[in-house]
Amino acid sequence: MNSAVIVFPGSNCDRDLAVALEQVTGRKPAMVWHKDSALPDGVDFIGVPGGFSYGDYLRSGAMAARSPIMAAVKDAAARGVPVIGICNGFQVLTEAGLLPGALMRNARLSFVCRPVPLRVENSQSLFTSQYDSGEEIVFPVAHHDGNYQADEAMLDRLEGEGRVAFRYLDSVNGSARNIAGILNDAGNVLGLMPHPERVVEPAHGGTDGRRLFEGLLEAVNA
Amino acid sequence: MKARVFITLKSGVLDPQGKAIHHALEGLGFSGVNDVRAGKLIELDLTDSTSNSDIEEMCRKLLANTVIENFRIEKLENA
C-alpha cells in the first residue's frame, strides 16, 4: 500500500502517523508538502495529520484546507482513495468540505489531553472492519478545538446513515451526540479527533489503534 | 480602500468563550450583563478596484466558516 502523509507548516503528528503506517504496511509513506500541486503516482491512501497547521490562526485547519495540495486530495477522495484526517487533519477535512460540520473550541474551554474510551459505532467501514460493532476501545486525545458541531438535520443524517464511526463514552469536549469521528457519504473519508497512530505498539501503553491501519491495509489490498 | 469584516457565530451556536467572558465581567462587578458573544474583526486594506462581490467571496471562501459563522462587511470611505 502506497501512503501519502500531507505536511502543513505547523503539522507535528505527521511523523507519528508515518511511523505507524510504516510499521503496519511495511512501506514508508511519502511525506507530501502542502505547496505541492500533485500527489505521487499510485497513492492508495492519504493521511492528513494532527498538529497546529498555520498556528490554528483564523480557525483551526482553515488555511491548511486551502493549500495547493488539497485540490489533489479532493480529487483523490472523489475517486474513492481512502483518506483519514486525524485531529487537526479532521479540522482540515471539514474546512475543505470533504466532511460536514465544524470543530469548535472545547465546551469547557480547556485543552484536553488524555486517553479516552470510545465506542466503535460502525464496524463496516474500510477503516473499522477489524473492530467489532459496539467495541469499546481507548485512543488518546490532545486538542483544544475538538467540539464537533453540525445542524440537527445533518446530525440525524449522520446517525441514520451509519456515518458516525466512533463515539466518546463520556463527554470529552462537548461534541454533539458525543461524536468522535465521522465518515463521508461514500465511506472512504474518515475524520476523527482521537489519535489512533499513538496506540499502535505496546510501548505506547495501548494498541487499539493498530487495527484501524490493519483494516485499511486489508481493504486496499483486497 | 479599507474594509472591515465582522465575523460572528450564528445565533444558536453555543459560544463557551463568550460565556467565559461573561463570567469574568460579572466577577469584576458588572451586574448588568445579560449575554456575551465574541467574534472577530478582520481589517482589509484593498486596491480601489476591489468589488463588493470580491470581498464577499473572500468572506465565503476563507474569512468565515459559513457552517457556523456569519459575516458583515463595512467599507470605509477615505476621508
Q: Are strands A136-143 and A147-149 parallel, antiparallel or unpaired?
A: unpaired
For residue A195, indicate whether it is catalytic. Answer: yes
What average pLDDT does the segment A60-82 reach? 97
Strands A112-120 and A164-168 turn out to be antiparallel
Mean pLDDT, residues A125-146 taken together: 98
Which one of B20, B63, B68 has the shortest CB-CB distance to A104?
Answer: B68
pLDDT at B79: 44
What's chain B's average pLDDT?
A: 94
The Cβ of residue A193 has, within 10 Å, a number of other Cβ atoms equal to 32
Stretch 34-53 of chain B: residues touching chain A, C-beta under 8 Å: none
- Tally of structural domains, chain A: 1
Domain that holds residue A67: 3-221
Q: Which of A66, A150, A174 sits opposite B62 (nearest CB)?
A: A66
Q: What is the CATH number of the domain that holds A192?
A: 3.40.50.880
Q: How far apart, in Å, are the Cα atoms of A1 and each of A26, A36, A49, A188, A195?
A: 9, 21, 18, 15, 21
Stretch A15-40: mean pLDDT: 98
Q: Which residues of B touch A62 (CB under 8 A)?
A: 62, 65
The C-alpha cell at A149 is 458541531
**pTM of the shown model:** 0.95
> Spelled out in words, what is the top-level CATH class assigned to the domain B2-76?
alpha beta
Mark yes or no for CB contact B16/A107 under 8 Å.
yes
**8 Å CB contact of B62 and A63:** yes
- Active site annotation includes A121: no
Of all residues in chain A, the percent with pLDDT exceeding 70 is 100
Contacts of A201 (CB under 8 A, 6+ apart): A23, A207, A210
pLDDT band at B12 (very low <50, low <70, confident <90, very high): confident
Instruction: Kindly list the domain boundaries of chain B, sorted by start residue.
Output: 2-76
Q: What is the mean pLDDT of chain A?
A: 97
Contact A138, A206 (CB under 8 A): yes
Contact between A101 and B67 using a beta-carbon 8 Å cutoff:
yes
| pLDDT of B78 above 90 | no
